[in-house]
Amino acid sequence: MRVAFFSTKKYDQDFFEQTNESFGHELRFFETSLNKHTASLAEGFEAVCVFVNDALDAKTISKLADFDIKLIALRCAGFNNVDLEAAAQNKIKVVRVPSYSPQAVAEHAVALILTLNRKTHKAYNRVRENNFSLEKLTGFNIYGKSVGVIGTGIIGACFAKIMLGFGCEVFAFDVKPNDELKDRGVHYVELEQLLQEADIISLHCPLNEQTHHLMDRNAFEQMKSGAMLINTGRGALIDTTAVVEALKQEKLGYLGIDVYEQESGLFFNDRSETINNDDDFLRLMSFPNVLITGHQGFFTKEALEQIAEVSLKNLSDFEAGNELENEVKA
């Protein structure tokens, strides 16, 4: 198939070209993101391959249909950036990569916890300046703490198992409890109880109408004072205005995020020589107890290999008329 890749970096091209040697698709890579203004780049192709910040709204999809695009291949698990009803109306199939090294994201969530807690990022900078003071570097033991996991799909389950290994008491909230986690000692509770009891809360749920701004002012009011919040899921799970207020009032003790509500156009790019006009982001960066990484939770060799393998197989299955096991429907 002739496939137009959007929002690509050199690492995308390297992994996809290497993996494509066994598939034989015709691939073209564009650094620009896909939206209604750039959809014309898809002309002459049969499919598009997109990432988390490409905007596939109804107008973009309509333009893709005008160019006879038959397939939208997401090289990620989330699909909240795709208007699935518009895709169905235009007879465009949508596929995704539902699981790619879930350990990568789960382990990154743990890295955020440990870094925020033991302040290793600050200690690193101090030592480079010959400052070996331990002042203001006090942390706490992870062992024995209560950890809340919101969303126990594949990634959330991996995270929960890691925290059990740390000797934590793990609480979970999900509309579909995981029996294996129950057997391992994870306590499924209502969201309100989880918010009230957890010392550390990690978000691993998908973004949809029910979870949009799940962590709002009301949620922060219910949390323990000084608790830690980690988000490696989707940025809009957290109400940015509410979390800034919770930090200002010192209700929230720590915030670690790998995703941001307004990350589109910001993350995945070198903006070191530009002015950041996002006041909310700048406010978050001003807090000493906030740690932000640029959506790198997925970024391991194993995950990139799996993303390329599954994405190209999705394309081959569509081309051959096979059943699309990773299809997403409205």
DSSP 224: P
Q: What integer pLDDT is reported at residue 283 of this predicted model?
A: 97
Q: What is the fold, at CATH topology level, of the domain defined by 102-292?
A: Rossmann fold (3.40.50)
234 is a catalytic site residue? yes
DSSP 72: E
Beta bridge partners of 147: 170, 200
The arithmetic mean of pLDDT across residues 254-269, rounded, is 93
CA atoms 14, 16, 22, 23: torsion sign: negative
| Sequence-ordered list of residues with C-beta below 8 angstroms from that of 184, at least 6 positions apart, any chain | 160, 161, 164
pLDDT single digits (tens) 271-306 = 999 999 999 999 999 999 999 999 999 999 999 999
Q: And the tokens for 154?
A: 């594949």
Q: What integer pLDDT is reported at residue 78 of this predicted model?
A: 86
The arithmetic mean of pLDDT across residues 202-209, rounded, is 94
| Active-site choice (96, 204, 234, 261) | 234
Burial status of residue 16 (CB atoms within 10 A of its CB: 0-12, 13-18, 19 or more): buried
Residue 108's pLDDT band (cuts 50, 70, 90): very high
The arithmetic mean of pLDDT across residues 191-197, rounded, is 98
| Active-site choice (295, 319, 323, 325) | 295
Q: What integer pLDDT is reported at residue 99 of this predicted model?
A: 82
Q: What integer pLDDT is reported at residue 330 of this predicted model?
A: 87
| Whole-number Å distance between alpha carbons of 48 and 81 | 14
CATH 3.40.50.720, applies to 2-100+300-320: yes
**pLDDT surpassing 90 at residue 100:** no
| Active-site choice (129, 263, 273, 302) | 263
Q: What integer pLDDT is reported at residue 97 of this predicted model?
A: 95
263 is a catalytic site residue? yes
Q: What integer pLDDT is reported at residue 264 of this predicted model?
A: 84
Q: Helix (H, G, I), strand (E, B), or coil: what is residue 12? A: helix
| Sequence-ordered list of residues with C-beta below 8 angstroms from that of 300, at least 6 positions apart, any chain | 101, 104
Q: Among 117, 229, 125, 126, which residue's Cα sits nearest to residue 166?
A: 117
**pLDDT surpassing 90 at residue 77:** no
Q: What integer pLDDT is reported at residue 117 of this predicted model?
A: 98
Domain boundaries, given as residue ranges, for the chain? 2-100+300-320, 102-292
2 is a catalytic site residue? no
| Whole-number Å distance between alpha carbons of 224 and 213 | 19
The model carries a pTM of: 0.89
pLDDT single digits (tens) 111-151 = 999 999 999 999 999 999 999 999 999 999 999 999 999 99
Q: What integer pLDDT is reported at residue 229 of this predicted model?
A: 98
**pLDDT surpassing 90 at residue 265:** no
Q: Tell me what the pLDDT averaged over the chain comes to.
A: 96
